[in-house]
Amino acid sequence: MNLDPGTPTEEAEEYPPELARLPPGRHGLPREFVAHNQRERLIAGLAEAVAENGYGGTTIAHITRHAAVSRRTFYEHFASKDECFVAAYDTVMAELSERVGQAFEEQEDWPRAVKAGIGAMLGFLAAEPNLARLCIVEALVAGPAVVERYDAAIQSFVPYFRSGREGRSPEVLSRLSPTTEEALVGGMMSLISRRIIAGKTMELESLLPDLVEFTLSPYLGGAEAAKVAREG
């Protein structure tokens, strides 16, 4: 808890190096880099402010204080709090997608790739509770523009599951319906978001076996899915 809201404190030092506060005065950095850096800082500042105050309670003053930039700088980058939130949301979701995609690509067989992808998602959200809250809880109260992105982000996981249809027997394929993947992704995200809403972000990683078994079952059958889910 920062009891001295007037000055930015050590908190700024805890940012990853690229987000840390630039030294004041002439730093000789290219203008474009500074601008980018400010933007990143504002995004990180928004995430912290929203974690502290909720989206509704967050003001631009909160954001600029956390980011340690001036109000004017804020308005050079964003027209409003909403716009800054959307940028933060997109940044976090891009990072999450990249991690999931990478983890998925690294595995050769599909069931293990799904397991690795889900593991990467849970790992990221558990390690970044503020960002998890931002993307799952606050996103929903931040207005229609973000809700649309939220929908799109969830649906973006559908193809990973759909690729599990490749090479399956006609018998397996015949029992998958057009909405199977949507239902699996919806079920998975519902489990994840309920824990984040309840403030149990730290428990997310323990969901891995359940989610793997649930999502693989339609393709592999229950027994095989349970086996993959419980492998070390």
Partner 1 sequence: MAEYASRTRPSPGRHPLSTEFIAKHQRARVIVALANEVAEKGYRAVTIADIVRRAGIARNTFYENFTGKEDCFLAASELAAKESLRRVIDAAVEVDTWPNRVSAGLSAFLDYVAGEPALARACIVEALAAGPAAVNRYERSVQAFVPLFRMGRKVSTHGTALPSTVEEAIVGGIFWVIYQHLVNGDAERIKELLPELVEFSLTPYLGAEAARRAAAETA
Q: What does the binding site for partner 1 look like in residue numbers (CB under 8 A)? A: 54, 56, 137, 140-141, 143-144, 147, 150-151, 154-155, 172, 174-175, 177-180, 182-191, 194, 197, 207, 209-211, 213-214, 217-218, 221-222, 226
Tell me the angle at which helices 81-106 and 60-67 cross, rounded to the nearest 10 degrees: 50
Q: Rounded to the nearest whole angstrom, what is the least distance from the CB of residue 87 to partner 1 in the complex?
A: 19
Nearer to partner 1, 87 or 226 (CB): 226
CB of 18 to partner 1, least distance (A): 33
In the complex, minimum distance from the CB of residue 165 to partner 1, in angstroms, rounded to a whole number: 14
Nearer to partner 1, 84 or 220 (CB): 220
Min. distance of Cβ 135 from partner 1 in angstroms?
A: 13
DSSP designation for 199: T
* Cα–Cα distance measured from residue 67 to residue 45, given in angstroms and rounded to the nearest whole number: 4
Q: Which residues of 72-86 are buried (b: 16+ CB within 10 A; e: fewer)?
A: ebbeebbeebeebbb
Helix (H) or strand (E) holding 173: helix 170-175
21 or 227, CB closer to partner 1? Answer: 227
What is the DSSP code string of 102-136? HHHHH-SSHHHHHHHHHHHHHHHHHH-HHHHHIII
Nearer to partner 1, 87 or 172 (CB): 172
- Least Å distance, CB 45 to partner 1, is 22
Query: Among residues 71 and 194, whose Cβ is nearest to partner 1?
Result: 194
Helices 180-197 and 208-220: crossing angle, nearest 10°?
Answer: 170
